[in-house]
Amino acid sequence: MHIEHESPRSGRRGTTSAGRTGWLRRSLERPAVHECGTEPDPRFTLANERTLLAWNRTALALIGGGLAAGKLLEFSSSAGRLLVALPPIVLGTLLALVSLRRWEDNQRALRLQQPLHTGGPARLLAGGLVVVAVVFAIIVVVDVFTR
């Protein structure tokens, strides 16, 4: 059975069978943001844009923090320095990718007058920060006992 639907993730009319195709294919096939629906209230467009920029700054803070930690903190081994610097940089990379995707989904939802998505980068950041904090704690404890 084929059910007609219009999703902000696809941005076009499709069928449930189309939902089984891969994420990359769906991303490439979907039309540009400004091609679906109608122009929303400019205030919502601006709010969506500011939200992406805020996530981008969060990603930059993680990247800069990772770099600074790798440069300034001293560990007994170079592996310790890498393990402290890399997780926030990787988390920042993921955040930049997910937030751009989220902006596109939300802009489509605004144009199609559908509800906005929840979760996404916020969930990633919360989970990622827990992982980074645990890794930091383990490295610091190990470094203290191996000096």
Partner 1 sequence: MSSRDDEWDAGVAVERTALAWERSGMSMIVVAAIAFATGAERQQSWAVAIASLLALGGAGAWGHGRLTYRTRRPIARVRAQPRALRIQSLQTLAAAALALAMMLLPPG
Question: Under the criterion CB under 8 A, does residue 14 sit at the interface with partner 1?
Answer: no
CA distance 25 to 17: 14
CA distance 68 to 55: 20
82 binds partner 1 (CB under 8 A): yes
Choose between 46 and 126: whose C-beta lies nearer to partner 1: 46
CB of 54 to partner 1, least distance (A): 7
Q: Residue-wise over 113-131: b if at least 16 C-beta within 10 A, else e? A: eeeeeeebbeebbeebeee
Distance CA 120, CA 100 (A): 11
Q: Give 72's DSSP letter.
A: H
Kindly state the smallest distance separating residue 58's Cβ from partner 1, in Å: 9
- In the list 13, 16, 21, 64, the residue contacting partner 1 (rule: CB under 8 A) is 64
> Which helix (H) or strand (E) segment is 14 a member of?
strand 13-14
Residues between 96 and 115 that touch partner 1 (CB under 8 A) = 96-97, 99-100, 103-104, 107
Contact residues for partner 1 (CB under 8 A)?
32-34, 39, 42-43, 45-50, 52-54, 56-57, 59-61, 63-64, 66-68, 70-71, 81-82, 85-86, 89-90, 92-93, 96-97, 99-100, 103-104, 107
